[in-house]
Every structure is written in structure tokens, then in C-alpha cells.
Structure 1
Amino acid sequence: MTKQPNDNAKKSHSSHWGAFSGQWVDGKLVITPHPIDPDPNPIIQNFPEALRHKARIAKPMVRRGWLENGPGPDDRRGRDAFVEMEWDEVLDLLAGELKRVKDAYSAKAIYGGSYGWSSAGRFHHAQSQIHRFLNVALGGYVRSVNSYSAGASTVLIPHILGNYEDMTRRNIGWDEIVEHTDIILAFGGMNTKNSRVAGGGISKHTEHRDMIALSKRGGELVLISPLKSDLPDEVNQDWVAARPGTDVALMLGIAHTAVMDGTHDRAFLASHTHGWNTFEDYLMGRSDGQPKDAAWAAAITGLTADAILKLARRLPGKRALFVVAHSLQRAKHGEQPVWMASVLSAMFGQSGLPGGGFGYALGAIANYGRHQNAVPIAGLPQGKNGVSEFIPVARVSDMLLNPGAPFEYNGAHMTYPDIKLVYWAGGNPFHHHQDLNRLRKAFAQVDTLVVHDLAWTASARHADFVLPCTMSLEREDIGSSQTDPMMVAMHQMAEPFGDARDDYAIFTGLSERLGAADAFTEGRTPREWLKHLYQPTYDGLKAKGIDAPDFDAFWAAGEVMLPQLPLDGGTLRAFREDPEGTPLPTTSGKIEITSDTIASFGYDDCPGHPVWLTPEDVVDAANPLQLVANQPASRLHSQLDFGGHSSAEKRRGREVARMHPIDADARGIKDGDIIRLFNQRGACLASVVVTEDVMAGVVQLPTGAYYDPEDPNEEKPLCVHGNPNVLTRDTGTSRLAQGCTGQLTVVNVEKFTGNLPPIQAYDPPVPVIWPRPPKLEAAE
């Protein structure tokens, strides 16, 4: 049971959902958003109920099969019993296993699988903690690169525009949009449920307010999405419901119309881009015999040719911004819509203009479109990784199922490493990975799977070692982001649940057993680390002549405001203004409409300029509906899925799917029914809302409900809770980026009429008694 602190004072804290304070009142934790936040994120209300929830992990656990048989592949993971152990005992066992793998196979056999959003804290950041431990104590680990959110764009954008971070964080600012933008074409939308989240924390949620201000000034926002909710209702006056996955065809139809009308900016294309003529030959059909005109695009998108022509003719002469959501590139050939949107920006001469041009993922998180801080923000040093091998993050199942197999990535011919031990701290792959039945098989292949978690996620249930860790309310930290002016002292509000420990304490204990404690801790306690990490910010403030509080004063005040830099448009604006003097960091130094580098790779699934490629999944008699598996509104990914706010948004305990009345009526489905979604990869249950806010032919089911198999002994068990990743396909976007393709797939849907299975996702496993060998009994 979690104990509340002795005092009931209001204390400052922060999260990636926003800054807030907490206070114990009559034995209950009351969470209050920071008073300066104009649009607080209600997800912070998941904290109070989650703090003491039954889903929390109270004691270290080890899987019985691992104890009985030792390390090795085991398909009982996910359906085996657990044995409760004390910390010293479990850390001794784990340290021995880490040493065994390192000595027998080298650090190249260890995958440091930390991926996912952690707390806003700069010190208790799970990825930094685990990477530091593996580097310092074991000499390194096989790492992952890129993200599930932006796997395709992170690889593509450096080829065509330059630095990814510069293009997302400095290229377009909301201040400039409100002042200058005439029209936004929002491909995939800008849903404010997404921009309510920020890595490192956020003090003011302003995107909703800024879109309204733009609209009141006369700016137009055009939503291109199968979901009407992907723009706020107050500004959503122009919904273009194209078929999911056909945005590139629509963009090509717009581009073709501009060329035929002569409204494209020939001078800008000549001075600031590379490879226009090659692309124009494709666009006009000279290279393949098929002009990409509005009529061609209409047949693919489901729109009329007239609608496409009218949309294209709204753009000339206006300050136009082309926004591409993360969602578009989380699909097969996801590189193409990102690339094609940058081409549209250049065609209309908008690239680099204030409030105009290309806005990749604007609205995806609150870190984008904001000012940069003028003083440094420190993070925990991770040390040097002595292992060079890596994988694109979404290829983890491929790696575990196919050790030694070749694969291609960004022009390189690579080989999957042979992993014996997976160490996961931070993130829940049974949320963010695709084809969960395949992932179950992948995790069965390794010798040992270690998971730090605060709750019984499906990842923890598949682990051999389950180490309970604290949530942010149970520890101290510093919350700060490079794009938010408020640094927050994150005060502890509750004692750790059960025997949970901080990741830092766990890794310190392991480091001691591996002879690396001094190197890992550098002799610092957590509070001493916070003082150390605050120092660069303090020095930066003093250097600017700002009266900076020392750490103790900052901690007592709960926050400090940091100066910010003016918006400057980054490298793209500098290039626009002086293409010769400040070239882009691309191969040509220009915007690459055609990339000679990518063309040289010879990838048929990502050629040298943007093209229309047929999706991998197409509707047919067996799977007549397209599934959109987008991000949820009631939580971030699967985090605190059992929290009060998340639970309140479910129906009959299930995740909520949405579908159009035409599709529901054809299947005898009514609002509030339980439906079964299924395809060849798996099946899940969900409650359903019948609404015209989803286009016909589409069913939408957000990710993040804890995976809850009805019978884990089956090869493809029914997920009774509503996790769509039992349905999604586990393939890469292309050989260029190997990104995640979890946004779209095809499914069938039927009304569920059987006995409704109970939700067991939050029920902790009942520990079993395991007779200790004599050496362990003696150690006790």
C-alpha cells in the first residue's frame, strides 16, 4: 500500500502532460493544473487513482520456468507463474545472469530495449538510466535508433531537407502562424489530444487557442483525414475525407493541377531545389505514361476530381502551410507523404517563409512550433556505448526471430544481431509494437527478458525478471524541456508503492554486484544528481546577467522561468534568404525534390523522388474495412491505462471503437454494442460508438488498452480489452527507413454476441511458492 507523506502541503510536480501541483486532502491526492496553463491536459487526473491501483507491482518477481530451468528460449513466457523474491536475492540472480551473457557472448548479445515516454524528469529518465548502466557496467549494448512515431521521417528528412530536429523544432512557429498564415492543409490533421503532450514537460498548452486565433483572423484550415476529430470543432469548417493512406495521390493531383495552371513557382524551383525536372517527368506522365492529374487522384482517394481541382486552386497567392502528421508516415511507404508535402511547399514557393512552407508533425507534440530556451538544460550522461550494432526500433521482432539474417537500412546492408538477453526499462512494447502474436513468439526466443515497470503490463507478464519501479510522484526530479520556459522542481508526493525502487537504485545495486558502482553513481545520491544537473542552467542564467536562484532556492520555490530565443525559422529560412551562403545540409545543398543518394540505393519501395505506391493492405471480401489505429485521447499511449481518467472514457471496461452508421447498419451493430475486430493476424473486442465523424469504410480504434488475451495458451488469443496491435502488420515502411507501419491495416468487424469475457489486464499474478536451492536458502 502506498503511504502518503507526513505533511499535506501543496507540492509542485510536472509530467509530459503538463505542470501541476498535488496535495493530500482527507487521504486523497488532489491534482491541480498549473494556473498559467490555458488548456490543461485532463490526463494528469490519471495520477490519483493509479498511485495505489491493484495493477501496481509491489514486489520483485522471477518467472518460475526461468528459476526451474535456467535461462533459455521458452514459449511459456506470458502464461507462466511468478515467484516473489526479496531485492538482494533477485539482484544477485540478475547480476549473475548479466555476467554470464557478457562473458559467454559479449555485450553484443544484450539488447537495451528502452523505448517509450517516461516522466518529465531529467534524472529519473528510464532510457538514460538503463543506457548509462549498460554502458558503464557491461561495456555497451545493441541499441535501437529512431522512433515508432517518426521512424520514416527521421531517416528521410535529412536526405531532403537537412537536420530533423531543426525541421521540426525551429522551422515553423505558432506565433508566426497566427500572424501570417492564410491557409493550412493539414494532412492527417492537428488533433490537440496529441499536442497536449511534450517531452520534458509543458507549462502552457496553446495550440488549441492558436488555431482559433488563426481562424478568427481569417486563416483557413483544411482537414485531410478520415476522422473529423483531427481538428478542433471550432476551426473544422473544411473536412476533406480522403481514403486512409491515399494522401500522396491527392498531393500529386494538387501538384499536377498547379503545373497545368502555371501557378507553381518556377523561379524558386530553379534556385532552391534539386531534381525538379526528373520529378516533373513523373508527375506529368512523361516517364511512365500516367499523368497524375485530378481525375487519376480522384479514383484513388475517393474524392471527386472537381474537389481536388478546387483545393489546388485555393493555394496560389496565399501564405500556405503544408502540415503532415506523424500518422501518415506510420504506414507502408510512409516516406512518400512526407517527401511529397515538402515538394508542394517548394512548388508554391513557400519553403522557409514565416508561417508558410512545410510543417512536419506540427501539432504532434507540444515541443513543436515553440521558442527554444536560451540557457542549457542538462540530462543524465549515458556514457559511451562500446557496441556499434543497432536496429531500427520497430524491427525488434525481426531481430529476435531472425538472428544473423540480412536487412537493408538507409543504404546500408546490415545483419540482425544474435540477442540472448533483453533488458527493458521504460516503455511497453505490447503497446507500441505491431502484430502482438508475432511479438510473443519473438520474446520466447531469448535466454532472459528483464523488465522494470510500475504496473503489470503485458511486457512485465512476459518477463523473466520483473523489477517494480516507482512512478514520478514517488520520487524527486527536475522537469524541463528545451522548448518550455518553466523548469519545475518535481517534489515527491507519496512513498513508493510496496517495495518499488527507483531505476537508479536498482541499477546502483546491480552495478555494485558487477564492480561498477563508483563509475555508475559517481558518488552521488539522487538529490546530489539533481543539484549537478541544475548547475548548467544556473550558470547559463548567471552568464546572461539574470538573477538566478541557487538549487536550494529553486527547490523551495518549485519553479524557475527561463529566457527564450526569438523564432528564426532555422536552417530552412536561412537557406531561403541566402541559398548560396547558407546551403542546406543535404547532398546538393538544396531542397531535394529528387535525391540522387536515395536513388542510388535502388529501393523499389522508396525510389529517388516521391511517387504513388499501392498500399500493402487493401480492402477485400475478407477484410472490407480500413482500420485506423491512432493515439488515444484519455492517456499517452498505454501509460496509466488503469488511471481514473482513462478508465472513465471506456465503455463496459473496453476500449472504444468508432465506425460510420452505414458500416454499422450493414452489420446489425448499434451504438454501445461490443464488436469483434478481426483479420488473419488476430482479433480483439471493443465497445463501439456509431458516428458520422468517421468516414464510411473506416473503423477507428485507438492504441493503448493493456493487451488482455482471453486464453494466453492459444496461438492467436482474443484480446478482450481492445488492443488494435493484435491486428496491425509488423513490416517496415520501406528499405530506406524500416519505420513502423502500425497506423493502418484492413479488418472485418462483427457484433459480438457471446458471453462477454472479463477484463483481467489489471489483475496482478498470484505468486507461487518455489523451493529455493540450498545455496539460495543459505544466502537468505
Structure 2
Amino acid sequence: MAPAGRPATTRFPLPHPGYRGAVTVDEHSREITRSPTTFHWGRYEVVTSGGEIVALEPDPADPDPSPIGPGVAEADRAPYRITRPMVREGWLTGSGTRGGDRFVAVRWERALDLTARELDRVRTRHGNAAIYGGSYGWGSAGRFHHPQSQIHRFLAMAGGYTASVNSYSQAAMEVVLPHVIGGGPRSLEERGPSWPEIVDHAELVVSFGGLAAKNAQMVPGGPSRHTQVSWQRAAAGAGVRFVNVSPVRADTEPDLRARWVPIRPATDTALMLALCHVLLTEDLADTDFARRCCVGFDRFRDYVLGTADGCAKDAEWAAAITDIPAGDIRDLARQIAAHRTVINLAWSIQRQDHGEQPYWAGIALAALSGSFGRPGGGPAAGLGIAETGVRGHWSIAALPQPPNPVSPAMPVARIADVLLHPGATIDYNGARLTCPDIRLVYWAGGNPFHHHQDLGRLARAWQRPDTVIVHEAWWNANARHADIVLPVATPLEREDLALGSSDTTITAMHRAAAPPADVPTDHRVFAALAERLGFAERFTEGRTERQWVRELYERTRTRLAASNVDLPDFERFWTDGSASLPEREMRHDGGAFAALRADPDAHPIATPSGRVELVSDTVAGFGYPDCPGMPVWLEPAEWLGAAGAARHPLHLVSNQPRTRLHSQYDGARASREAKVAGREPVDLHPDDARARGIADGDVVRIHNDRGACLAGARLTDAVRPGVVVLATGAWYDPDADGLDRHGNPNVLTRDAGTSRLAQGPTPGTTLVEVSPAGPDPAPVRAFEPPEIVETEPAPGHHGPAHHCPAHGAGNHGAGEKR
């Protein structure tokens, strides 16, 4: 390892500027050139002139391209781009606070030495479980430069790390459904009705949480063609009727002419139980399927009818909870029973207190509906998300992953608990996990200060580790809260290949432009660190980045040849810019659930009973009071029917944005142009705005006991009264008092698990109040880089050479005392 004072020698040579074939990047001429690329929201041609990107044009074959892409390139040259390695000044001196310090620009040799030494110190003194490997995987659509694959491969080879399990999007579903219907975490997405089935056979789609078109923009790996909304319209054209059960009318496309059921947020389970009550009491329930193909029907029926607890879950009972008239509930139940019906469960309805319950109750409702296991009917998950239910799935090779020697993985949404309470235990899916003492957080890909809840609490938790290391291209909150910031190239600045889930085009991602001078890829950073730590050959396997891209393509080619799919050789693929795969036809026969319906003994599903478990003895055996062994109504910690609504009388819906992917490219054109007064827009019903003296376009303050943020008011009757909608993803921009100036809803949301079963996130359980911000609201500073200094503190003052490997950080000062 190089001495601390040695001049920088590490260099990251850029990929070669020329490409074989028709597509060429020439950084000296002004020739217009075109090169293919893919983002998670679609396939584009990158138009360059003289090595500079001048436009991103959607693939002409895409019938419904996302508006996000055209503004992406400007972010690569934005003033908030990070172009040099940075070290937090307070980390060097053993003082200061993450998120509020200046940064010191250092040379690559220095940054890599500091990073390698700190990794080695932590794993040697505290064990590899003290290293948390953070990544959320959305940093690139490419399979080689997928940041999650890169960091996990590197840390596993370095001896292991504490990993995470499940996702913020689907945690409750991923854990509860395997107990109920068997299979993997996304078994319902894979086995639910496809859109071709729905067009041919369905008559009614009842969607809890809607089918918002904005969510159809993106998939991991990127879609070459956006066809989700076209399939929805085709279903409507075929006579399928839609019901949108959501507090937001815009959660379905206007062309679907959906019936809007403006439910009170977080009460979907109560509505589902009442629908089951109507089916049972009016002799409309498919009791044959429920008895033959399910277990626990009698116990579930007794609960719904009130035999067990004296409380019938009837339409009147649910009307008081959901704010939906009892007559409308009965009518909807009768419509479900009378038609081939899809019960679609959007991802959003699980991100709330007791989020396992609406998914379990949705399965029960489908089981009684008469459509479970019949073509074009039964339960579905996430219809409307990207290309779900559109076509079959091909897979593409990924960067090989060695086993991680450290276990167990911690639930992803419990990261603040893990950091704040080392040694504490967390109940999770029948296990009891002990929180490790995390001393170092290493993050590459994703932004925890976007997707985590209660950001004030997360910011406090973020002060606990000794060191936080981040790979990042821009000065977002993740970088601002780090100690060592290693700048990396963006997808337009590197080579890769991509295939979107349920897509039929493998795209060659050509390097369209050079990154800023001496800015490497994630892979090159990890390779340089692996060299310092002694496993570079094992990490790179002796391959260059281009050779890795070729290797992954050839592995994919070999894999698909076994399915009689003939792909061109790599040279032809790279020159052409893409390779086409055949369509994988979606079934039209109801799939595995149809086989279950026909003969449950001959065709069991992968549950302990081989049947749909309306009651799970396994889950009941865990003894969790917040998630018993069958679907029940459990009152949320915060909702409009709670006592807390007197102080905070509005329910916050923090949904996915239309103009960016999560928080990515918040400063780019599509997101920037959608702002109101430079802030994230918040939708309010005109009646709620009028009662508070708020006009359209006003800057407002949204607040509760956890935090507050500023946003731009947008009045609309497309949200039900009592509800405000503030999309996620505005870059976190707190002032000295913690007020977020930009409109990030996660300063308001609740950081608690869905239940002891899944420990998923609960942003949908949030009450707030909204008021005018008053004159001269604080200006947004989210896109201004932090203060940067060019000289490290004097060696005699901070002594990084003698204490850097054992310094403290944040609130606990120098040394390792905590």
C-alpha cells in the first residue's frame, strides 16, 4: 500500500474512443454520430457531435417512450457533478457532522489508500459483519456495470459484509406470499393472469392501488418497447371494465373509463373483508374452490362473519372504516361474483402498517370470487408496473457472485434500527436477528436518503458508523452524508449490455461520451481497491471491462442456445447495437392455479399444505400479534380514523414520481420542469386548500411530529378530500433546523416495520398537516455542491497518518469510543 504522502500515480485510462462498425465516437471532429444505449426507462439513440451529447432520441420502435430520457445527458455535465475524489474534512479531524461539513479534494491515490486502509482496519478489528454493503441496484441498466453486483462481488471477496434482504417496493409481498401461495418472492407476478389472458377472457379488473401509467415507464434493464398501457387499452377495447380502488383518480388512465372508488388510505384490507362478507352471506362465494383448493376456509369464514369475535365484517362495518358507502361495497362484491374478475394488488398497498394484510386478504377475496385459477381471472400483483403480464421472460448473464461469508442479511428497511441499536434483536419471518455493530457503510448504487423513511432519524443513525464510503456521480444527499466520496462514470460514459425483464431486445450500450478527466467506473475503483487488498486477479479474472461485457454476452448466448435461440456473435451484436429475441408467448389457460383448481392433489402448489393457505399454521406459529396466521383488519398506527387525525388531519400519499426514476435525474429537464415554485408539487383537494387559505402555486409547509418540508401546491379534484399526494424523489435538502426545503416526503414518513413478519417499510401510514409557508420561503439548495477546500488539515493537527485507521466520526469524536 502506498505511503500516505506519496504523489498520486493511480490513473484510470478511458475506454478506447473508437467503435467497430457503423457507430463511432470521434471526440475531435464535429461529425454527427449515433450510438445505442438503454436506461431503466427505455432504449435510446444517443446523438453526439464532436464527442459531446446533443440529444437522446427514443427508439423509433417504442410506441410509448418515457419523457425522462431526453434530459438525462445534461446531468452528466451539471454543476453538481462530482469530478474528483472527496474526503469529509471533519472525518479527517475526528469532528464535525455528516451532512453539514466541508469536503477536501484529494488525489485518487490518497482516496484509494484511505478507503483500503479503513476497510482493512474494520474487518481486522471488528470482523466483516461490521461492514454494511449498501446498494439498491438502480445505478445502471447494464448487466456488467450494475453497481449492486460490483459492490457485492468486491465485498464478498474482501471477506464478507452485512447484506440486506427484500426491497422497499415489495417487502411485505415478498415475505407473506410464499406462505400463502408458495413459490418465490414474486410468485404472484409470475403466476397471475397475463394481459393476453385478460384481453381474451376477463370481464372485470378490480385494482387495489390502481394501474398508474407513470409506473409503466421502467423495468430493471429497461424496456425497448413500452406496451403496458397499450395492453390496458386493448382490454378496455375488448369490453373489460376497470375499477380503481385508490384515493387518487389518476391511478388509472382516462381511456380505461374506470370506476373510481376513492377509498380512505390504508383501509384496503377492511374493504376486501367486507367484499368477502357479501359473497358469503349472499351465497355468491366459490366455496367449492375454497374448500378443495385452500386450507383454513372455515376459520377465515368465521372471522369474516363475526362468529369468532362477535364483529361481522359486513358492508356497514367497512363503510365506517373505508368511507365507501355500504351500498357501493355490496354492488362491487356482486359485480366481482358475476364476472371473470382480476383482483389486482398494486405494490403501493403493502407499504403501510400491517402491509402483509391487504395482500393476504386479496388472495382470500380472489379465492371466493369464482375466478381463481380460471383464464383471465384470479389474483395479480403489480399489473400496471412496467411490463408485468405483457410477455414471457428471458434472462441475461450477470457478473458472477461468490458466496458472502457473513450472515444473516438484515431487512432492507431496517437499516436505521441496525445502525442505532447494535446488539438489539429484530423479529423477521420466524427468525430473530441480532443487529451487528456496523462500523463502516460502503454504498454504491441507490440513495438511502431517497428511499428510507423518517430521514431525520436516518440522518441521526448515519452518524453512528466510523466511516461511510460512497460511489456517486452527483452531489446528492448520499454523497453529502459520506466521509469518502469516490466519483464514478455514468451509464453514458461506459460500455455494457442490457436486457429488460420481459423484453426481447438485448442492447449494446456503447460509450457515448467521455467522463470527466480521471473519473473511472465503479469496476475500476473496486479493481484498484482489490489490488491494494490483495485479490485483484480474483476480482477482475484478468479481464478488461470490454472483455467482461463480451463474456456476459457469450454466456447469455450459450444459455439461450439451449432454448433454441440463436444469437449473433459478439462482434456482430456490438456493431449492430442490438440483438432480437423471439417473443415468449404468455399463457392463456390460467397456469399453475388452473391446474390446482382442476386437481389439487395432483397439482399441489409449494405451500406446506399444497393448497392456498387462507390460514397459515406456520405464520400463526410465529406468534406475532401484528401479523396473525390469517388476513385480519388491524388498525394502522396512523390513519384518518385515528385520534391523531385531530392534529394532523391529512393523509400523505407518497407515490412514485412521473418525471424521474425514484430520485435519479431530479435535476434533469423532465423533473425540473414539473416543479412548482422550484419545489416538488403536492396535490391537494380544492376543499382542503380553501380551508387552509392555500392557492394553486403557493409554497406550503407540510409537517407532523417527525419533520417538515416545503412544497408547491397544486390543486386538483383528482385526489379525495383529506388526502395530499407528494411524490418521492425530490433531493433531500434540509436546513440547519431540519426543514426540507425541496419537498422530500420521507422527512414525514414513519420508520417502522410493516410487522414482525416482513419488516417492510410503512410510508403509507403517515398523517400530516399543510399550511401556507408564508413570505420568503427558504430557497432550494439541493443542487448546490457543498463547500470544497483544496488543502487537507495540517498533519500535526489531525494526524491522519497516525489516527485515520482508528478515528471516530460524527457525534462520537476521535477514537473508537461510542
Range of TM-score over shorter length: over 0.9
Displacement of 1:498: 4.5
User: Match for residue 558 of structure 1?
Assistant: 577
Give distance in 1, aligned partners of 2:32 and 2:599.
58
Q: 1:469-480, aligned counterparts within 5 Å? A: 469-480=488-499
Give distance in 1, aligned partners of 2:683 and 2:224.
32
Specify which of 126, 147, 152 is matched with residue 172 of structure 2. Answer: 152
User: Match for residue 403 of structure 1?
Assistant: 422
Give distance in 1, aligned partners of 2:288 and 2:258.
34
Match status 1:200 vs 2:221: yes
Paired residue secondary structure (1:234): helix
**Distance change in 2, residues 1:184/1:544 (3 Å):** closer
User: Match for residue 492 of structure 1?
Assistant: 511
**Distance change in 2, residues 1:704/1:336 (3 Å):** same
2:267/2:321 contact within 8 Å kept: yes
**Distance change in 2, residues 1:587/1:494 (3 Å):** same
Give distance in 2, aligned partners of 1:361 and 1:309.
25
Give distance in 2, aligned partners of 1:592 and 1:244.
27
Counterpart of 1:425, as a letter, is: A
Displacement of 1:542: 4.1
Paired residue secondary structure (2:552): helix
Specify which of 615, 634, 650 is matched with residue 675 of structure 2. Answer: 650
User: Match for residue 130 of structure 1?
Assistant: 151
Specify which of 752, 758, 762 is matched with residue 773 of structure 2. Answer: 752
Match status 1:770 vs 2:795: no
User: Match for residue 322 of structure 2?
Assistant: 301
Worse-superposed segment, 74-83 or 693-702: 74-83
Counterpart of 2:66, as a letter, is: N
2:224/2:500 contact within 8 Å kept: no
Give distance in 2, aligned partners of 1:581 and 1:466.
57
State the TM-score, normalized to the length of structure 2.
0.91
Counterpart of 1:159, as a letter, is: H
Paired residue secondary structure (2:189): helix
Paired residue secondary structure (1:316): helix
**Distance change in 2, residues 1:577/1:533 (3 Å):** farther
Match status 1:177 vs 2:198: yes
Give distance in 2, aligned partners of 1:679 and 1:174.
41
User: Match for residue 265 of structure 2?
Assistant: 244
User: Match for residue 435 of structure 1?
Assistant: 454
User: Match for residue 161 of structure 1?
Assistant: 181
User: Match for residue 47 of structure 2?
Assistant: 23
Counterpart of 1:548, as a letter, is: L
Displacement of 1:166: 3.2
Match status 1:681 vs 2:702: no
Paired residue secondary structure (2:771): strand
Give distance in 1, aligned partners of 2:287 and 2:531.
65
Displacement of 1:535: 1.1
Displacement of 1:772: 5.5
Specify which of 596, 604, 609 is matched with residue 588 of structure 1. Answer: 609
Give distance in 1, aligned partners of 2:656 and 2:180.
27
Displacement of 1:276: 0.5
Give distance in 2, aligned partners of 1:599 and 1:219.
38
Give distance in 2, aligned partners of 1:450 and 1:5.
35
1:709/1:718 contact within 8 Å kept: yes
Specify which of 122, 127, 130 is matched with residue 109 of structure 1. Answer: 130
Displacement of 1:574: 3.5
**Distance change in 2, residues 1:527/1:288 (3 Å):** same
In angstroms, what is the RMSD of aligned CA positions? 1.8
Paired residue secondary structure (1:239): strand
Q: 1:269-348, aligned counterparts within 5 Å? A: 269-348=290-369
1:110/1:419 contact within 8 Å kept: yes
User: Match for residue 467 of structure 2?
Assistant: 448
Match status 1:661 vs 2:648: no
Give distance in 1, aligned partners of 2:26 and 2:484.
30
2:659/2:674 contact within 8 Å kept: yes
Give deviations 1:84-109, integer Å, cap 9, x for gaps. 01111110111001000011011011
Give distance in 2, aligned partners of 1:574 and 1:659.
47
Give distance in 2, aligned partners of 1:623 and 1:776.
49
Identity %: 47
Give distance in 2, aligned partners of 1:771 and 1:311.
69
2:33/2:49 contact within 8 Å kept: no
Give deviations 1:443-481, integer Å, cap 9, x for gaps. 100000011111111111010011111110010100113
2:85/2:486 contact within 8 Å kept: yes
Match status 1:385 vs 2:404: yes
Give deviations 1:28-75, integer Å, cap 9, x for gaps. 521111111111111112312212111211111001111122xxxx66
User: Match for residue 613 of structure 1?
Assistant: 634
Counterpart of 1:244, as a letter, is: P
Q: 1:34-73, aligned counterparts within 5 Å? A: 34-69=59-94
1:373/1:562 contact within 8 Å kept: no
Give deviations 1:119-146, integer Å, cap 9, x for gaps. 110000000000000011x211111000
User: Match for residue 486 of structure 2?
Assistant: 467
Give deviations 1:523-568, integer Å, cap 9, x for gaps. 0011000111011222245445555310010000011111243324
**Distance change in 2, residues 1:404/1:545 (3 Å):** closer
Runs of 4+ in 1 over 6 A off after TM superposition: 774-777
Paired residue secondary structure (1:343): helix
User: Match for residue 188 of structure 1?
Assistant: 209
Give distance in 1, aligned partners of 2:734 and 2:651.
23
Paired residue secondary structure (2:784): coil
Give distance in 2, aligned partners of 1:406 and 1:28.
51
**Distance change in 2, residues 1:748/1:429 (3 Å):** same
Would you say how many aligned residue pairs link Structure 1 and Structure 2? Answer: 766
Worse-superposed segment, 473-482 or 286-295: 473-482
Displacement of 1:316: 1.7
Q: 1:221-240, aligned counterparts within 5 Å? A: 221-240=242-261
Paired residue secondary structure (1:36): coil
Counterpart of 2:792, as a letter, is: W
Paired residue secondary structure (1:315): helix
